[in-house]
Chains A and B, each alone.
Chain A
């Protein structure tokens, strides 16, 4: 019987097809497609969405899929102490995690395609086939990344996604800002990807496989190796646990780059130079999620190393706080959103690092929707404001753009974590996991988690503040410019995605209301059940990617060794809700009037520091110019003088030798015959003497 899994490759291939179509049209140089290629893109992503939904339903029925589709290189024999030769493959892994992610990506991609009709087509942009080609390739790559069944395939799509991001940030390549922002995004993420690549190689060298799930997957092998049930190659003379930590941190390099975590977050705010739908799709909802998704995907591997978990949690929490503080003072609406994105991904990392696999994934899910919503709402505002993004030039837009206002408000409430909007449930679960595991675990990991929890909690306050500062400045008060006074709401193709996402941002949190469950005892933690499966049976047993397995690893003494303290989740939730409300209330008080003052100016030096992002860019530029550049110059001198000298020497010797040899061939056939005979004679005499023939 033909099921959803047989069509699963089409989820990836459909957007790729629309990419090919758009590229073909772009190359032909004629305007062959209606709407500049948007319609094929919409059709393809809608198809992907339908298929994803089908896959989702099938996975809900308890079926999963983990198959290799194509082996493109296979080793001849095993290396070191491995039992299997290396194989490089493409394959699909469809389990609850990837099914959920497929749904998120294809839905947001579809909505962004629709929104682009309003943002790009109606604004009369040129080069639309190029734009839609980029979106199509991005969607295909992202979906390919999501369904990847091994680390190498994931890496390849990871890089493709990065390429698309580069192409789309630099879409307006004739202006000065976008190309350099694109370059920055590309280079900074590439810096992380170097570590990732080394990590991929390390995984192959260690385990001989990079599969995510199943008996022969590397997380499973790692678990067995620590328990002494399997042998793997380790390097640098490290014990398995220490070596796995090293490998995990190498892969984490890519995650930090892609998910814009400290200190590689600097590219993301600049990436806002790209078109706003691109920011929504790529730099908020999906691509940036690729990093944390990867952590969730190979969670079984990280769960074995307390050090790696602590690093993930601390990096996440610090990023959450750090980015939120910078979001407090920004003037441009998209900048605020950019920093909030960085901050929210910090929360997801914190959740994952704190042993909250479900919590992190849950926040990934809700954030995808409400952040896409906020970006699209900002896009709608930007259309209305004729591409002026400064919030101090806005104000009072709520009466002129009601649909945008109410959906944006829903997204903001979700972002700030106000009950009952989506962000509340997921962010609280993240913080709850950090707290209970921090209190319960006695090792250094526990202390680290408590520190992380503290930072996350302060960030809640900041989040509430900057979110409502943004809402107040943009929508409330009196219009502060002529443009704001005459703003009108764009058409249906802008409103429709906003409404869809607005509803989702409001409701999607209900899939996992843990505090309510704790209060009432009702079994309504659907996401939890979905990701956990049935213990010891079905896919949870076969794939080893279930929450049960991860939980088992987290508490095992050979794994992270965590213990959860007993705390009711609603109490913890109340604390953070109070902080969020306090932050939001402060923003309302300060900026809620008809004509708010720029209070940030009163912060003085602190404001400068925040506004300049703690001089992160400056020190990174200094690193590049002050440290790397002199080193490169020294290497260049070495290359010019020594390496080139040798190479040039070799080549002039060969050219001289060549011209000598050329002279032998003088065109006289008698000479040839003579030399031929002479050569044969020399060989004969030589071998006769050597072999002692006579």
Chain B
């Protein structure tokens, strides 16, 4: 009997990328993106379905995990959970791209790069070795640079791409240097072996390992857009085409966290690490506070919606970092709080993508980028405005939307872990975020505006609707999500 290989969801994303490239090789000059969109959506759907199937059908992957390729890759509940998230975001972004890039050249490259990046993300979530992690990281990063600069005649887009690339190169260098130091200190790149070395004592190599751990943290902080590796994010998100911003700020960020969760929990067990003086939970506490304070405070004073969303996305990275910051050695709450962080990323995948897609829609309509330019859109395009309102309130964590529950679980988990001061800061930030999100809502509904809008692009609307369903359905459906996430996270600590 033929059984599906455990990496099927990842393979499917990669094969879809190849299919897109093949199609583009046959008709390289076509500017009609419908077939490309179709291939991308179908492929991502297949990957999502495979991941969902593996997660739910009791294939044994969800709980135990399977190591492959001499332990370089592991497929378990967490990797499948994140792969499902990446595939879902890819579907949304592909749909939106159909309208956003309609009539533009080189659409094959766009979809191909996006799918390759998604493949890399999925691999990042499965990486069980620092080498795999680095290769996967680069497989995500390199297409992302090109995607940000995709509108090559647009100065903003090119500038953003270049900045992203430069900061990215620096961060990659830091990451790979960190990996080399870890290798030097422990003698292995495989996470379980690294962990074994930590547990058997590092001796006088603690310093090397410590610098290595910190630099690896820097590498994932770059992907997650956390302070102080966040500088690229506002520029890249603002300059990039809006669907790409959505992709980067949702999926790419989640990929960074997926890697961080596995590398730190599996590779650098907190107990021995902390007793050796490498207390990375404290590091993430510092980063979480700095990230959410900076992200939310900067977002409060922005003039442009997209840039505000970019900073808010930094702020959310701060919330998710709580999932790492609230860990402690041998605590029973570890699985819960990290699972809550994963669930928050999942909900965030829908609501944040949705918010950026609304920006894409606005760009497609040709209304401006500032808050005032959105005045009165609610009256003219009620559905889209309702969806945007739901996304924003969900991002702010207003009950009863999906974002409320994920934040609630996350904060509750942190309080249980004893980090109430961190939660106080997070809640203050959260309420500040309601201020700047509601500025958009006010512009949409309560201000008068005059626009000449060119209809409702079908695919973008469909993507918006799917994201809305994701945000709203995750309210009754939140139970399964948080259970899966916490189960997957707990399995990591076993």
Contacts and interface: CB of A to CB of B under 8 A. Distances in A.
Interface of A: 72, 651, 654-655, 657-659, 661-662, 665, 667, 669, 672-673, 675-680, 683-684, 687-688, 690-694
Contacts, number: 89
Interface stretch (B18-26, B225-233, B377-385, B387-395): B225-233
Nearest to A667: B235
A662 B307 CA distance: 11
Contacts of B234: 665
Nearest to B287: A683
A192 B435 CA distance: 35
Contact of B297 (A658, A687, A692): A658
A676 B229 contact: yes
Interface majority SS (helix, strand, loop, mixed), chain B: helix
B279 A691 contact: yes
Contacts of B300: 654-655, 658
Contact of A665 (B211, B218, B231): B231
Contact of B298 (A651, A661, A691): A661
A665 B301 CA distance: 13
Contacts of B476: 72
B455 to A, nearest CB: 23
Contacts of B163: 669, 672
Contacts of A680: 174, 214-215, 218, 228
B162 A684 contact: no
Contacts of A655: 300-301
Contacts of A654: 296-297, 300, 432
Interface in B408-442: 432, 435
Given A665-B234, A691-B210, A693-B207, A657 B228 contact: no
14 contacts: A72-B476, A654-B432, A657-B297, A658-B298, A661-B301, A675-B231, A679-B229, A680-B174, A680-B214, A680-B218, A687-B210, A687-B278, A687-B279, A692-B277
Interface in B333-389: none
A665 B307 CA distance: 12
B464 interface: no
Interface string B280-310: 0011001000000010111111100000000
B170 interface: yes
B214 A687 contact: yes
A693 B215 contact: no
Nearest to A660: B297
Contacts of A72: 476
Contact of B294 (A659, A661, A669, A692): A661
A678 B232 CA distance: 15
B166 interface: yes
A691 B277 contact: yes
Contact of B228 (A661, A667, A679, A688): A679
Interface of B: 162-163, 166-167, 170-171, 174, 206-207, 210-211, 214-215, 218, 227-229, 231-232, 234-235, 276-279, 282-283, 286, 294, 296-302, 432, 435, 476
Nearest to A653: B297
Contacts of A691: 206, 210, 276-279
Among B167, B218, B228, B234, max chain A CB count under 10 A is at: B228
Contact of B283 (A676, A678, A687): A687
Contacts of B166: 669, 673
A673 B279 CA distance: 26
B87 to A, nearest CB: 29
A174 B358 CA distance: 40
B167 A662 contact: no
Contacts of B229: 676, 679
Interface majority SS (helix, strand, loop, mixed), chain A: helix
A693 B280 CA distance: 13
Contacts of A684: 211, 214
A687 B476 CA distance: 43
Contact of B162 (A651, A657, A659, A669): A669
A691 B278 CA distance: 6
Contacts of A673: 166-167, 170
A661 B291 CA distance: 12
- The 7 residue pairs across chains A and B that have the minimum distance between CB atoms: A679-B228, A691-B277, A672-B231, A658-B301, A693-B207, A658-B297, A658-B300
Contact of A694 (B207, B279, B432): B207
B167 A676 contact: yes
B209 to A, nearest CB: 8
A210 to B, nearest CB: 21
A693 B277 contact: yes
Contacts of B214: 680, 683-684, 687
A693 B210 contact: yes
B406 to A, nearest CB: 16
A655 B302 CA distance: 10
A651 B431 CA distance: 10
A640 to B, nearest CB: 19
Contacts of B432: 651, 654
A688 B294 contact: no
Contacts of A683: 214, 228, 283, 286
B210 A651 contact: no
B203 to A, nearest CB: 12
A672 B167 CA distance: 8
A72 B229 CA distance: 42
Nearest to B301: A658
Among A662, A676, A677, max chain B CB count under 10 A is at: A676
A357 to B, nearest CB: 39
A477 to B, nearest CB: 60
Contacts of A669: 162-163, 166-167
A693 B234 CA distance: 35
A687 to B, nearest CB: 6
A678 B283 CA distance: 16
Contacts of A675: 228, 231
A70 to B, nearest CB: 10
A609 B232 CA distance: 78
Nearest to A651: B435
A684 B167 CA distance: 19
B298 A665 contact: yes
Given A651-B432, A680-B218, 18 more contacts: A655-B301, A658-B299, A658-B300, A661-B298, A661-B301, A662-B298, A673-B166, A673-B167, A676-B228, A676-B231, A678-B228, A684-B214, A687-B214, A687-B282, A687-B283, A690-B277, A691-B210, A693-B277
A661 B228 CA distance: 13
A518 B375 CA distance: 78
B277 to A, nearest CB: 3
A691 B302 CA distance: 38
Contacts of B167: 669, 672-673, 676
